[in-house]
Amino acid sequence: MVGTVAPDALELREAHRFPNRPVRARGTLHWDILALYAGVLDGLRAAGPVASVGIDSWAVDYGLLDADGALLGNPVHYRDARTEGVSERVARVLPPAELYAATGLQHLPFNTVYQLASAVGSAQLAAAGALLLIPDLLTYWLTGERGTELTNASTTQLIDPRTRDWSPTVADALGIPLSLFPPLRGPGDPAGELLPAVLEETGLPGPVPVTAVGSHDTASAVAGVPAKGERFAYIATGTWSLAGLELDAPVLTEESRRANFTNELGVDGTVRYLRNIMGLWLLQECLRDWETHGRRHDLDALLREAAAAPPLRSVVDAGDPAFIAPGRMPERIADACRELGDPVPRTDGETVRCVLDSLALAHRRALEDARELAGRDVDTVHIVGGGARNALLCQLTADACGLPVVAGPAEAAALGNVLVQARARGVLHGDMPDLRRLLHKTQPLRQYEPSSGDHGTPAAWGRAAARLAGRGRR
């Protein structure tokens, strides 16, 4: 994505798009990191001359380097089964309440801390001289410089959100050597320059500085929320739905831990107080499954079918970690409906409706909990990320939450990334509200008002929420 930025203008252009296809080999699900890096180089070539480069990606995953700086194996995908049962083992050494008090991170079975705990004692970890999170690894290949960007580091569950620095308590208790991590750097810090070989390969005129951004895609997406005031909640929806609030300080209470809320670090000293919800992964995996069974759907037609299906007929818990692993998603959704005593969807359209109703309910629950736990009021919900293009999901979320939803930009992460670079290069000035002013001035947004009742009355949403809450899971 190429951003063009001036004090009163902001445009984004897609220069190149490439697939991200995980590969299973010898039973382990990997990222094809060299294919991704090749995609980055192709993207730079397609972009043409640029004033700065910044990289963000999904969180928690990493590559290990040997003493010479060579990559030790392909990074393992956080959806791989290697972390099964690990959090239970870790809990015996470090009780969940202590881990939360130290890191404020939501329990997710794939947090880096569990990935590393599962690797302690392996030949690969023993051979490692450094650990680089995915965006830091790509940055290292582009610049030769190593660092650990803070917003993404906060997803490792090895950072104390009060000090915004490493938590030796956690690392020491689990035998994880913090010395593997290169020094921390924050959004806006310099991260080197494109190496001469990279300039040559991409045909870019140098020098091209690389700037650290909110390298966790969700940190960049939240920076890309076009909020006007302070009383807003956000839902960054793509593969995941990340629903919550932007705060000045972490909430580390026991209630917060039990509600499984996370305190990830954001741009400009902020805290992203949110809950991870399965997101459009549920739909993506259904589409993939139907295609392997010879049913390739036109997405718009399928969403029209879903919109016409009976509302709130069957719902599942879209926060249930049981949905993390890939494969057989329609069947697993049907199983969850059966288990919870709801009718099983009869058509693919009804399955999609079940997914979207369930996501809307999980959005509602996350925002209700966030408001209560953080003691903050909310008058607007911003939906950013790919899900902002899904009109049905936006309307259902407005209906479920009983609040107006402002949808867009879909490319919030790229915009948040570019804004931080532009400010670091001196093109823009000011703090988050100033950067956000530029977003709501320049980006097309769409507003959804809470219910006409077409997709379920407020009372029906309330009953469905209570029904799901009664089933005891988040």
CB of 262 to ligand LRH, least distance (A): 8
User: Between the CA atoms of 207, 212, 217 and 222, what dihedral angle is there, to the nearest 10 degrees?
Assistant: -120
Cβ-based nearer residue to ligand LRH, 240 or 461: 240
CB of 200 to ligand LRH, least distance (A): 32
Cβ-based nearer residue to ligand LRH, 104 or 209: 104
Q: Can you name the residues that pair with 234 across neighbouring β-strands?
A: 244, 382
Active site residue 289: no
CB of 256 to ligand LRH, least distance (A): 17
Residue 308: alpha-carbon gap to chain centroid: 30
End-to-end CA distance of the chain: 35
CB of 240 to ligand LRH, least distance (A): 4
Cα dihedral across residues 462, 464, 465, 471: positive or negative? positive
CB of 450 to ligand LRH, least distance (A): 26
**At a CB cut-off of 8 Å and minimum separation 6, what does 232 contact?**
225, 246, 378, 379, 380, 381, 382
SS3 358: helix
Cβ-based nearer residue to ligand LRH, 138 or 465: 138
Nearest alpha-carbon partner for 51 in 221, 211, 215: 211
Chain positions contacting ligand LRH, by CB under 6 A: 58-60, 78, 216-218, 239-240, 242, 276
Give the separation between CA 78 and CA 30, rounded to whole angstroms: 9
SS3 185: strand
SS3 14: coil
Give the separation between CA 379 and CA 193, rounded to whole angstroms: 43
One-letter amino acid at 300 equals: D
Which residue among the candidates 61, 217, 348, 357 is catalytic per the annotation?
217
Cβ-based nearer residue to ligand LRH, 275 or 423: 275
Residue 116: alpha-carbon gap to chain centroid: 20
Please give the structure tokens belonging to residue 256. 């917060």
Cβ-based nearer residue to ligand LRH, 418 or 428: 418
One-letter amino acid at 185 equals: R
Give the separation between CA 374 and CA 370, rounded to whole angstroms: 6
Cβ-based nearer residue to ligand LRH, 109 or 402: 109
Cβ-based nearer residue to ligand LRH, 78 or 232: 78
CB of 215 to ligand LRH, least distance (A): 10
Cβ-based nearer residue to ligand LRH, 20 or 292: 20
CB of 234 to ligand LRH, least distance (A): 12
Residue 237 has what DSSP assignment? E
Nearest alpha-carbon partner for 262 in 106, 145, 83: 106
Give the separation between CA 277 and CA 240, rounded to whole angstroms: 6
Cβ-based nearer residue to ligand LRH, 278 or 465: 278
CB of 293 to ligand LRH, least distance (A): 27
Angle ∠(207,66,178) on CA atoms, nearest 5? 90
Number of Cα atoms under 13 Å in the Cβ half of residue 121: 3
CB of 218 to ligand LRH, least distance (A): 4
**At a CB cut-off of 8 Å and minimum separation 6, what does 412 contact?**
220, 221, 222, 224, 225, 236, 384, 385, 388
**At a CB cut-off of 8 Å and minimum separation 6, what does 349 contact?**
302, 305, 306, 308, 309
Q: Can you name the residues that pair with 165 across neighbouring β-strands?
A: 160
* Active site residue ranges: 217
